[in-house]
Amino acid sequence: MAPRRMETKPAIFCLKTLLLLYSFIFWVTGVVLLVVGLWWKFMLGPYMLLISSSPSSAPYVLTGTGAAIALFGLFGCFATCRGRPWMLKLYAVFLSLVFMTELIAGISGFVFRHEIKGTFLTAYSAAVMRYDGRDDRSVAVDGVQRRLHCCGVYNYTSWFSSVYFPISGIPTSCCVHVSDCNEADLKNTTLAAQKVYKEGCYELVVSFIESNMGIIAGVTFGIAFSQLVGVTLACCLSHFINSNQYEMI
């Protein structure tokens, strides 16, 4: 039995090293998700109002998932160092649950992407129609128009039917050069066309979603299937440790 035990020791050492490295990367992934969730909540909160009419739970899901992954990443490192089979099996079960959750989330996002675009169109159109320049949705609309260099839903004419247009015209966030815009020009449908962005924000956002959906889906599925590597390493290490302990009896 002694030669066989000697043969399994290098394999156990190799598997422990790989699983420790994997668990560290897994922990880093959890920390990144936690930070992204908090950033989303505090920095992107107003913009989420343009995607949904009610507050989004996505930041809380990301934060909770990131915290759980970071915690179990530490548990994975501890289980690997201790070399307890039951700990390694528990770690493998958790990785399997993460894999299934990420897989379902990725498939759902890809399948329902058209519904996401429809929801964005409805929410963004409502925000433009009710724009007043002061509330959270109005601030978010201004931010989108400045950053994407766009104006209105389909184009700048979307503003003509808004409650804001008869009072102050098209918002200055639509202006190509703010210094060249004044309220009188922005209330004039002919002059305003020469001073604001021509392209609508909806088409730009939809184009971004369509062009990057493949990349987003690929990254999501890649991360999901990477959990299978951890499951395999944890199960193999547990098996080798069990075999080694059995041979010592």
CA dihedral 184, 187, 193, 199 (to 10 degrees): 130
Q: What is the pTM of this model?
A: 0.68
What is the span of the domain harbouring residue 164?
Answer: 3-247
Q: In the chain, how many domains are there?
A: 1
- C-alpha span between 178 and 59 (Å, rounded): 34
Secondary structure (DSSP) of the chain:
-HHHHHHHHHHHHHHHHHHHHHHHHHHHHHHHHHHHHHHHHHHSHHHHTTT-SS--SHHHHHHHHHHHHHHHHHHHHHHHHHT-HHHHHHHHHHHHHHHHHHHHHHHHHHHTHHHHHHHHHHHHHHHHHT--SSSHHHHHHHHHHHHHT--SSSSGGGGGGSSSHHHH-S-GGGBSSGGG--HHHHT-HHHHTTTB--S-HHHHHHHHHHHHHHHHHHHHHHHHHHHHHHHHHHHHHHHHHHHHHHHH-
Q: Are 202 and 124 in contact (CB under 8 A)?
A: yes
User: pLDDT of the chain along its 249 residues, tens only?
Assistant: 444 444 567 778 888 889 899 999 889 888 888 887 788 777 666 667 677 656 666 677 778 888 888 898 899 899 888 888 888 889 899 888 888 887 887 777 666 666 777 788 888 899 999 998 888 888 889 988 998 899 999 999 999 999 999 988 999 999 998 888 888 888 888 888 889 998 999 888 888 777 766 666 676 777 778 888 888 888 888 877 877 654 444
